[in-house]
Structure 1
Amino acid sequence: MAHQDVVGILTWRKGERFSEPDYLRRLVVAGQKLGAKVYLFSHQDVNVAERKIRGFTPTKAGGWSSKWYAWPDVVIDRYRRRVPQYMRLRHSKLFTFANSPFSKKWRVTLMLAKDERVSHWIPESSVYAPGKVKAMLKRFPIVYIKPGNGTGGRSILKVMAAGRQYVLSGRDRLSALHQATLKTAEGVEKWVKRWVKEQQLRDGNFLVQQGVDLGVLPNRVADVRVLIQKDEQGDWSVTGCGVRVGEKGSSTSNLHGGGKAVPFQPFLAAVFGKERARTITSEVVQLAHQTAVTLEERFGRMMEFGLDIGVDVDGRPWLIEVNPKPGREVFREIGDMDTYERAIARPVQFALQLLR
């Protein structure tokens, strides 16, 4: 009997509770359609002595069934929590991984800022320290203070110089909106210091970053989510782009925070005109490819990145953030189901290509 390729997907679980269950369910099904044996597992499911894995697959009723599976030929890492047990497993030589370990977001931002192939797309950034915000406000009208390891737009603070005062707005760790208007840069420093202390995540520095004016729509922030993935030939390819538009008055565009997703090309054409939209698109694609290549050189084999790209009021793209374990919900939100399905299938296609 011909060998059936076995793909394991490493993720967090507690009992039958998984992180991102909807996506992982679809990922397993996509792999099965490609003829592979695919299952989810976590660090506690590995039996090294007997070289077998307790794996989980979705049931038709919406639950999960588990049994012992053969050792995977290749593993896709979707684990998003840096717990010690995961870190030990990740750095062991037990599996062939489709994607290498990645660094903390703030380190990646600072690393890209030093690489001349991509540095012109990176807003000026430095690790937060007292006095940094005040110094940045002397040079830029907008400054962001953001956790180096945050997700979902939480704990990001925007400071904007408006006439003789400063307007601050941000969402805390629970996504609640905070706003303040202050008269002096010293007052801003004090406010930010308290924010950083209260919003500190387990293992992260904060970054102070040059703000980019993404207000191409009145009183709203919009940015582009670009998904670049390895295809079935193992080559980098932009799977799709979607625009996230923040709710009125919000400092971020995140869908968790009330933002909505809209199609990329029609949005750019409406704001900048068709001709200019084409130029911006080609630069966004170039930025995505160069970033993926640069990061893979640095960290080893990778298979996908979600890039948050801001297009400023002059039509200039800026790389805001890189995520090595990206979501792809933006395509479902805009109703582009073909791109959504392709975005789900590609990680398994690439994992199988590695076995060829």
Structure 2
Amino acid sequence: MNNILGIMTHRIHHPNSFRRHARAALAENFSGVIVYTPQGVNLKTGQIHGHVFRDGTWSRQRASYPKINLDIGFYPESSLRKASLVKKSKQLRFTAYGLGNKCKIQSHLVRSSFLQPYLLPTEQVKTAQEFIQFLKAHRSIMLKPINGWGGKGIIRVTLDKSHFIVQQNGMPALTLPLSSQGPYIRKVLRNGRHLMQKWIDIRNRSGRVFDIRALVQKNGEGNWQTTGTAVREGKQGKITSNIKSGGSAHQVSDYLKKEFDNERGEALTNSVAEIAQYIPPFMEKSYHTRLSELGIDLAIDTNGRLWLLEVNIKPGRMVMLQVYGKKAWERSFRVPFQNARRILDKNSK
């Protein structure tokens, strides 16, 4: 198992769904892969129970820890603790380590004087009173699950004179009396912890929400690269721009020049590139940890001001496919495997 790549994920319906991962590992001269969940890791015996791909076939078996591992999973609250324990194990080495939930990530971002002008007012909602005060201060806010991904569970809440309005993708807007604010937020919090963030108007001239995703990856030489950037435009009436919710992807510079003007569009495009280059080394230094790839989400309001929405440790690559084409998308998929190979070779010397 010295030359096998470990791949940890949240669930395995069928190992063959990871064939593309196995092929990418083989292309980087790994002898095979073992795909497993955190529940398949025995921290006492130092063994993994998972699906091994070698010589073109899968087999379920127990194996010793691989020398290097990729973590591609998205873990719900129920399995988050076990996944965290696995990642903290000194014997099980990963190409990258966690950044924590959205609130913890925000607490690191605000330490940067460079990033502070781009950050929205953001707090974790712990009590109904905190929610009511934040809503009164900002009038319209976004509620986000602190361990959420893919735009799931995001809610916009807007305060009006005699009521408040709740909007969520795929659901009709809900108008509630002000007296229901406390019971409403307590109901939301029963479904998991949330942060609240000031809402900004990031709709384009057609009224569609749009933001910008920058995919940054550590390559086979150990250097950070911006693999691609893309505008994500949501469907009409949606409150998020997520591609999985029916959004579309567009080339950044052309889109921004069309929305604003050539000079402003070019300046914003350059600022996006600058922030994307800055964040990865800053986060590694701030966390004192190793990272492999990040999805950096930015937005531009109707006044042309650039904002940093959030940083994701496991970004999707659908925007690469839509904007840059299949070959570029496949290359972006390969980069984490090239970085894994580099780390393995470095540790073997």
State the TM-score, normalized to the length of structure 2.
Answer: 0.84
Partner of residue 201, structure 2: 213
Partner of residue 36, structure 2: 41
Tell which deviates more after alignment, 65-74 or 86-95. Answer: 65-74
1:193 aligns with 2:185: yes
Q: Quote the Cα distance in structure 2 between the aligned partners of 1:332 and 1:90.
A: 30
Task: Report how far residue 42 of structure 1 moved.
Answer: 3.0
Q: How does 1:288-303 map to 2 (within 5 A)?
A: 288-299=276-287, 300-303=289-292
Q: Quote the Cα distance in structure 2 between the aligned partners of 1:59 and 1:153.
A: 38
Q: How does 1:1-356 map to 2 (within 5 A)?
A: 5-14=3-12, 16=14, 21=17, 24-39=18-33, 40-43=35-38, 45=40, 54-57=50-53, 64-66=58-60, 71-81=65-75, 83=79, 84-128=81-125, 129-160=127-158, 166-171=164-169, 176-181=170-175, 186-187=178-179, 189-190=181-182, 192-193=184-185, 196-197=188-189, 200-201=191-192, 205-299=193-287, 300-334=289-323, 336-354=325-343, 355-356=345-346
Asked whether the equivalents of residues 144 and 210 of structure 1 are also in contact (C-alpha less than 8 Å), the reply is: yes
Q: Secondary structure at the match of 1:13?
A: coil
Task: Report how far residue 340 of structure 1 moved.
Answer: 1.0
Tell which deviates more after alignment, 278-287 or 49-58. Answer: 49-58
The amino acid that maps onto 2:302 is: V
Task: Report how far residue 316 of structure 1 moved.
Answer: 2.3
Gaps of 5+ in 1: none
Q: Identical aligned pairs, as a percentage?
A: 26
Asked whether the equivalents of residues 47 and 62 of structure 2 are also in contact (C-alpha less than 8 Å), the reply is: no
Task: Report how far residue 328 of structure 1 moved.
Answer: 0.9
Q: CA distance change for structure 1 residues 284 and 54 in 2, over 3 Å: closer, same or farther?
A: same
Task: Report how far residue 140 of structure 1 moved.
Answer: 3.2
Q: CA distance change for structure 1 residues 85 and 165 in 2, over 3 Å: closer, same or farther?
A: closer
Q: Quote the Cα distance in structure 1 between the aligned partners of 2:10 and 2:252.
A: 32
- 1:90-143 C-alpha deviation (Å, 9 max, x unpaired): 222222211113211122123312432322211111111323444344443531
Q: Quote the Cα distance in structure 2 between the aligned partners of 1:169 and 1:101.
A: 31
Asked whether the equivalents of residues 131 and 189 of structure 1 are also in contact (C-alpha less than 8 Å), the reply is: no
Gaps of 5+ in 2: none
Q: Secondary structure at the match of 2:271?
A: helix
How many residue pairs get matched?
338
Over aligned residue pairs, what C-alpha RMSD do you find? 3.1
Asked whether the equivalents of residues 152 and 254 of structure 1 are also in contact (C-alpha less than 8 Å), the reply is: yes
Q: Quote the Cα distance in structure 2 between the aligned partners of 1:269 and 1:331.
A: 20
Tell which deviates more after alignment, 188-197 or 151-160. Answer: 188-197
Q: CA distance change for structure 1 residues 315 and 44 in 2, over 3 Å: closer, same or farther?
A: same
Q: Quote the Cα distance in structure 2 between the aligned partners of 1:77 and 1:66.
A: 19
The amino acid that maps onto 1:29 is: R
The amino acid that maps onto 1:347 is: P
Asked whether the equivalents of residues 108 and 283 of structure 2 are also in contact (C-alpha less than 8 Å), the reply is: no
Task: Report how far residue 270 of structure 1 moved.
Answer: 1.5
- 1:21-58 C-alpha deviation (Å, 9 max, x unpaired): 4xx43332222222222412334555775867644339
Asked whether the equivalents of residues 74 and 96 of structure 1 are also in contact (C-alpha less than 8 Å), the reply is: yes
Asked whether the equivalents of residues 123 and 197 of structure 2 are also in contact (C-alpha less than 8 Å), the reply is: yes
